[in-house]
């Protein structure tokens, strides 16, 4: 059993479970009393009976039904199909920015604009499977570009706008992207990154440099000249659709590739879990640079015909509530850190009319009982936890509106998905035993490939199971409980960060000789990034140097992936082969027993 990354209470829980085998006392220890939430339902949920649906569900039948669509391209299913219905003039997207500028686009607007963009790319010579990245803040062009790319059967890649030149370079070079869509401001970082394979930079602000070594394309001018009609080529469920870079313990980020078929899981879960209906105003707070913002911000939400809202700005409690009030948001998909940030500003919610909210969901980090209880107090509704990963493409474990919530549990696998807890050899464990959360392959939104890295792809599988990298256990009722990560991946404010990427950025600083990075538990952000640094000769620890290093990583790697805490040290624990033993640093930081360190040396 992977014990290395467990927090104190998780460890004590495990001991309790192993010793007493009584789950009740162990759960109590964690403060996770088996409280069943009795909630008022103001609406008829889409999924009426979880157990019954699970019993009769068949992928074969569902895929057959899905395949009846005129075209299997995700852009057709999410967008174009609505043009033939009454939804044509319905508002698909509302975008509000920090200055309260509001833009509204109907399904027809999005259809026409994405067709123009598809023609623009076609004229530039985009080919099937060509990688085209979107490096933009939350503006309508993200949606227009995404659909335009996949209509051409290109692979759309979303990159979080907080990434700096190095973060960008790693992603663009590994994917060998030919196209990138950006704005005047972010374009500077592309030039700093000097990507090797980029041929075209499409600038939505249109301020293009004709002398550039890349071809700069004036989006505004070009879009005017393109036709708003585009025929999507015949697409198969297996054609590649989008890719997102995500982090593991080792090495640079990996490109997770999804096929057009992934939308099927997105649609089923947007129906069963997010409970989206035609009349909903839906707000997914995740950025499109993360998988939630892609699958449930660009694809599945549109496919179900709901009106979606995006806010292009920084977190601000007043602003968030005003968005819900002003646009009458009814379904809200957010993350525990955001909920905790709202909770911190306790009384503000009382100033707003939030009565339009009818269903709340959460993802990305453990949703502890506390934010659920606070949600009940503030909104009169519980947050429903959902579990999934970039690799799984869609929600796989969830709490459904029709099912009682157990506070602190991720819920149960969606119909069609078999999840279980297995040991490191892939043997299924018993109820309440802590182990690896594993999923039985395969399902339609399962990643199709790790870009050009078959070895990495294969490493996810053990004895016929897809191993998620999460530690969890299952209770007697089939509910799953998240306990921690089995590896060194950091989740800070719900955003996934690999320690290696941060360490690489740190050692590029002139003063840093060696660096090790861990996720340190944080009451607000879930985890924060903490770095242990050995300085080069001639440099001394100081507050100024600390600040300089933080700023350096923000600029070079990403605004969200810098160490909020730095400790200067004289040595680091390493294995005999010279690898940094992050588990030892983490255990020390948490005041835990460091375990067997016979193979660890300090230097
Ligand atoms: C974590 C995000 C606890 C988990 C959609 C997983 C969660 C990783 C939950 C994937 C949850 C996601 N409770 N932890 N409900 N949902 N995680 O790829 O460690 O950014 O493996 O996908 O987030 O992060 P990713």
Query: Residue ranges per domain, the chain?
Result: 31-57+261-485, 101-254, 492-590
Which of 409, 491, 525 is the best mutation target for the ligand 1 pocket, counting ligand atoms within 8 Å of the beta carbon and taking the most? 491
Residue 397 Cα: closest atom of ligand 1 = 15
Work out the average pLDDT over 26-37.
41
Ligand 1 midpoint to CA 291 (Å): 10
Q: Tell me the C-alpha to C-alpha distance, in Å, between residue 287 and each of 290, 295, 499.
A: 6, 11, 21
Q: Is the pTM of this model over 0.85?
A: yes
Report whether pLDDT(490) > 70.
yes
pLDDT for 64-122, tens place per residue?
999 999 999 999 999 999 999 999 999 999 999 999 999 999 999 999 999 999 999 99
Do 136 and 161 touch, CB atoms closer than 8 A? yes
pLDDT for 410-446, tens place per residue?
999 999 999 999 999 999 999 999 999 999 999 999 9
The residue nearest atom 15 of ligand 1, judged by CA position, is: 387
pLDDT for 141-185, tens place per residue?
999 999 999 999 999 999 999 999 999 999 999 999 999 999 999
Instruction: Please tell me if the CB atom of residue 364 comes closer than 6 angstroms to any atom of ligand 1.
Output: yes
Ligand 1 midpoint to CA 387 (Å): 6
Distance CA 135, CA 460 (A): 29
The residue nearest atom 12 of ligand 1, judged by CA position, is: 364
Q: Which CATH number fits domain 492-590: 3.40.50.10420, 3.30.300.30, 3.30.1490.270, 3.40.50.970?
A: 3.30.300.30
The tokens of 586 are what?
A: 């983490």
Do 436 and 470 touch, CB atoms closer than 8 A? yes
Architecture of the domain whose range is 31-57+261-485: 3-Layer(aba) Sandwich (3.40)
The tokens of 246 are what?
A: 């995500």
Ligand 1 midpoint to CA 366 (Å): 8
**Predicted pLDDT at 133:** 98
Instruction: Please tell me if the CB atom of residue 372 comes closer than 6 angstroms to any atom of ligand 1.
Output: no
CATH number of 101-254: 3.40.50.980
**Predicted pLDDT at 41:** 54
H-run or E-run covering 517: strand 512-522
Instruction: Please tell me if the CB atom of residue 387 comes closer than 6 angstroms to any atom of ligand 1.
Output: yes
Instruction: Please tell me if the CB atom of residue 359 comes closer than 6 angstroms to any atom of ligand 1.
Output: no
Task: Indicate if 492-590 has the same CATH topology as 101-254.
Answer: no
Instruction: Please tell me if the CB atom of residue 488 comes closer than 6 angstroms to any atom of ligand 1.
Output: no
**Predicted pLDDT at 42:** 61
Residue 292 Cα: closest atom of ligand 1 = 5
pLDDT for 340-393, tens place per residue?
999 999 789 999 999 999 999 999 999 999 999 999 999 999 999 999 999 999
Ligand 1 midpoint to CA 482 (Å): 10
Ligand 1 midpoint to CA 528 (Å): 16
pLDDT for 466-476, tens place per residue?
999 999 999 99
Please tell me what DSSP assigns to residue 510: T
Work out the average pLDDT over 10-31.
37
Distance CA 26, CA 364 (A): 24
Instruction: Please tell me if the CB atom of residue 457 comes closer than 6 angstroms to any atom of ligand 1.
Output: no
């Amino acid at each position: 059993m992977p014990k290395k990354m467990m927090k104190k209470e998780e460890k004590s829980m495990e001991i309790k479970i192993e010793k007493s085998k009584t789950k009740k006392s162990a759960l109590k220890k964690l403060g996770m009393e088996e409280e069943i939430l009795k909630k008022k339902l103001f609406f008829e949920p889409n999924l009426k009976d979880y157990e019954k649906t699970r019993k009769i569900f068949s992928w074969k039948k569902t895929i057959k039904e899905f395949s009846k669509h005129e075209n299997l391209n995700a852009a057709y299913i999410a967008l174009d199909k609505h043009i033939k219905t009454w939804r044509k003039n319905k508002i698909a997207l509302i975008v509000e920015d920090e200055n309260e500028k509001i833009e509204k686009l109907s399904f027809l607007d999005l259809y026409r604009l994405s067709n123009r963009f598809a023609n623009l790319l076609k004229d530039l010579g985009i080919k099937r499977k060509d990688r085209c990245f979107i490096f933009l803040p939350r503006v309508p062009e993200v949606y227009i570009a995404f659909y335009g790319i996949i209509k051409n059967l290109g692979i759309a890649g979303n990159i979080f706008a907080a990434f700096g030149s190095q973060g960008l370079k790693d992603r663009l070079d590994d994917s060998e992207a030919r196209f990138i869509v950006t704005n005047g401001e972010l374009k500077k970082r592309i030039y700093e990154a000097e990507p090797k394979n980029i041929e075209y930079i499409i600038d939505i602000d249109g301020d293009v440099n004709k002398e550039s070594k890349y071809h700069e394309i004036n989006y505004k001018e070009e879009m005017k000249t393109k036709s708003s009609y585009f025929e999507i080529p015949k697409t198969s469920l297996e054609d590649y659709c989008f890719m997102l870079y995500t982090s593991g313990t080792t090495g640079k980020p990996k490109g997770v590739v999804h096929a057009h078929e992934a939308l099927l899981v997105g649609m089923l879960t947007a129906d069963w879990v997010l409970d989206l209906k035609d009349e909903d105003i839906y707000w997914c707070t995740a950025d499109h640079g993360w998988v939630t913002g892609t699958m449930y911000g660009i694809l599945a939400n549109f496919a179900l015909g709901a009106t979606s809202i995006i806010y292009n700005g920084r977190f601000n409690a007043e602003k968030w509530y005003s968005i819900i009030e002003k646009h009458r948001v009814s379904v809200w998909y957010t993350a525990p850190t955001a909920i905790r940030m709202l909770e911190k500003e306790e009384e503000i919610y009382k100033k707003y009319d939030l009565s339009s909210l009818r269903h709340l969901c959460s993802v990305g980090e453990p949703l502890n009982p506390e934010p659920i209880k606070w949600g009940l107090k503030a909104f009169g509704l519980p947050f429903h936890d959902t579990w999934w990963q970039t690799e799984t493409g869609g929600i796989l474990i969830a709490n459904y509106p029709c099912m009682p919530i157990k506070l602190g549990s991720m819920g149960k696998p969606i119909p069609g998905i078999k999840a279980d807890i297995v040991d490191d050899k892939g043997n299924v464990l018993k109820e309440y035993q802590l182990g690896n959360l594993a999923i039985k392959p395969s399902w339609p939104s399962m990643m199709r490939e790790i870009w050009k890295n078959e070895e990495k792809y294969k490493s996810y599988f053990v004895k016929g199971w897809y191993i998620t990298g999460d530690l969890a256990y299952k209770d007697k009722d089939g509910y799953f409980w998240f306990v921690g990560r089995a590896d060194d991946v950091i989740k800070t404010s719900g955003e996934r960060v690999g320690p290696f990427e941060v360490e690489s950025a740190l050692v590029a600083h002139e003063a840093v000789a060696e660096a090790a990075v861990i996720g340190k538990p944080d009451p607000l952000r879930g985890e924060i990034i903490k770095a242990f640094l050995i300085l080069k000769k001639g440099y001394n620890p100081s507050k100024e140097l600390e600040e300089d290093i933080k700023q350096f990583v923000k600029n070079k790697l990403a605004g969200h992936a810098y160490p909020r805490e730095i400790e200067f040290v004289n040595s680091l624990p390493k294995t005999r082969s010279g690898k940094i033993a992050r588990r030892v640093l983490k255990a020390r930081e948490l005041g835990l027993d460091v375990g067997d360190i016979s193979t660890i040396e300090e230097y």
